[in-house]
Amino acid sequence: MRYKALLLASALLASGCGGNPQPDTRAQVETAPAASNDTASAPAPPPAQTSVLFKNVRVFNGVDPVLQSATNVLVRGNRIVSIGTGDVPTEAGMTVIDGGGRTLMPGLIDMHWHSMAVRPTIAVAMTATAGYLNLMAGAEASDTLQRGFTTIRDVGGNSFGLKRAIDEGWQAGPRIYPSGAIISVTGGHGDFRSPIELPRTLGVSESRTEVLGDTAIADTPDEVRIRVREQLMHGASQIKLTAGGGVSSPHSPLDVVTFSPEELRAAVVAAGNWGTYVTAHAYTPDAMRQAVNAGVLCIEHGNLMDDATAQLLATKGTWLSIQPLPEELLRAFPPDSEEYAKGREVLTGTDHAYQLAKKYKLKTAFGTDVLFSAALARRQGQLLASLTKWYTPAEALIMATSTNAQLLALSGKRNPYPGKLGVVEEGAMADLLLVDGDPLSDIQLITDPAKNFVVIVKNGRIFKNTTR
C-alpha cells in the first residue's frame, strides 16, 4: 500500500505543479578541447572569452548587507582580478558588459540538492535506465544554472558522471559538491527495497538504488567504513548519512534513530582520514544529538529540534542545513497516508526550528531539497525568497552566498573547486549574476530569474547575456 501511495503521490505532484518545463536553449555550454582522434570534419568550437569587464555596476559582495557604489569589475580567466572605478583598458578576447547601474552579486548556492532526483517522478526514477536518468539530470542542471544557482551541494545520488560532464564543458550546469550514495541502515531513510528482498547478505548491494549508486546500505561499523571509502574513491567531497527516519521513507517512522554511535563514529573517522566531513539527515532531537556527539559536523533538516538540541549545536559549532519546505510538498502524498502525516509534522516544526537557529546564532545554511518535481525546481528562487519570514532580504542572500560557501569549505582537501566562492572580491572565483534591480531591497527579483538575471557567469564563462 505504501509503494502505491508513493507512486500516486509522484503523479499528483507532477500534474498539480505544472508538468515538465520547456528546455532553456539560452545556456552556452563551456567548450572543452577536442579529443585527439577527432575528425577534421568536426566544426571548430567558437573562441572563449579571455576576460569579462563589468562596467558601471553596483556590487552586493555576498558579505555586507548594503550595495557598494557604482564600480567596474574585471574577470580574467575564472577569477575576479580587480574591482574599482579606474579605467580598464580593453584587451583581445575581452567581453565588455555595461551594467547600467544594475546589481552584480555572487552566484547562488543550494546546499541541499539531489541532482539525479529533481526532475523524474518517483515512478520514472524507480524504473528508467541510468542513461535516461542522467539525460534528465543534465537538462535539469542546465536549468538550475539559468536560475542563477552556480553551485549546489549534492547530498545524495550518483551525480559523479554529471559533475564530470559539467566540469569538462560538455554539459551546462552548476558546480557540484557530490556526496555520492546516501548511506543508510536496513529499513532506514534511504532503504527503498521491498520486504521480499530481505534478508540481505552483508557486504552485498543488489537493490536497484544501490546498483545505480544512489544509496548504500550499511549495518555494522565495518560496513559503514567500506561505504564511506567507496564514495570517497568515487570523488565525494563530503559524506551523507541518514541518522533518523524520513518523510518519504517507505519503512522508517520519523522518530527512529538509525545508526548506532559506533557506526556514526566509524563514518566520521573514515571521512576525517580523507580530510573531509560527515553531514547527517536528522529531524528529531534524539537523532540530531547522537549524530552531533559522534562528531558529525552538519545536520540536514533539524525541523523538530528542541531548545536543548539547539544549544548543543551552538556549543559544538555544528552546522544546521535547514530548508524552508513549502506546503506544496504535502501534495505528494494522499491525505490519509503515513507519509502525509510525517510531512505535516515536519512542516509544523519548521518555524520553531528557524526561531531556535536565530536565538542561538547557529551556523545556518540554505537549501531546498526538491525531489521528483520539475515544477517545484523552477521555484528554487522563490524558496530562497521565502526565508524572509525569518530573515531580512540581505540576511537571506548572505546565507545563500558567502555563508553557504563557508560550509562548502569544510570539505578541505577534498574540495573539488579550490578557491573562494560566494563573494564578489578580488581573487574570488568568478561566479556572478547581474540583476536588473536591487535584490537587497526587493528580494522578489530572484523569483523571476528569466527576466531579472540578465547576465549569468560561472567560472568566468558567460552562460547568459541579454544586455546585448
pLDDT score of 10 more than 80: no
Residue (of 154, 207, 150) closest to 182 by Cα position: 154
Residue 92 pLDDT class (50, 70, 90 cuts): confident
pLDDT score of 205 more than 80: no
User: Which pLDDT does position 207 carry in this prediction?
Assistant: 76
User: Which pLDDT does position 86 carry in this prediction?
Assistant: 82
pLDDT over 70 for what percent of the chain? Answer: 87
Residue 37 pLDDT class (50, 70, 90 cuts): very low
User: Which pLDDT does position 203 carry in this prediction?
Assistant: 67
- 190-194, 347-351, 406-410: segment of lowest average pLDDT: 190-194
User: Which pLDDT does position 6 carry in this prediction?
Assistant: 46
d(CA 262, CA 47): 54
Q: What is the pLDDT of residues 299-329, one digit of tens each?
A: 999 999 999 999 999 999 999 999 998 887 7
Angle at 282 between CA 291 and CA 177, to 5 degrees: 90
Provide the whole-model pTM.
0.88
Domains along the sequence of the chain with CATH: 2-18+108-414 (3.20.20.140), 51-106+423-465 (2.30.40.10)
Across 143-170, average pLDDT? 96
- 201-205, 218-222, 393-397: segment of lowest average pLDDT: 201-205
- Determine the residue type at 461: R
User: Which pLDDT does position 44 carry in this prediction?
Assistant: 52
pLDDT score of 344 more than 90: no
Chain position carrying cell 548491494: 205
Would you list the DSSP string of 382-436? HHHHGGGGTS-HHHHHHIIIIIHHHHHGGGGGG-SS-S--S--STTSB--EEEES
pLDDT score of 12 more than 60: no
pLDDT score of 198 more than 70: no
Chain position carrying cell 564563462: 461
Phi, psi of 224 (to 5 degrees): -60, -45
Q: Which residues lie closer than 8 Å to 378 by C-beta, 6 or more apart?
A: 18, 21, 143, 147
How far the first Cα of the chain sits from its last, in Å, is 55
Count CB-CB contacts under 10 A for residue 93: 12
Indicate the burial class of 233 (C-beta count within 10 angstroms; 0-12, 13-18, 19 or more).
Answer: exposed
- 61-75, 98-112, 187-201: segment of lowest average pLDDT: 187-201
Across 344-373, average pLDDT? 93
Q: Which residues lie closer than 8 Å to 233 by C-beta, 6 or more apart?
A: none
d(CA 298, CA 360): 16
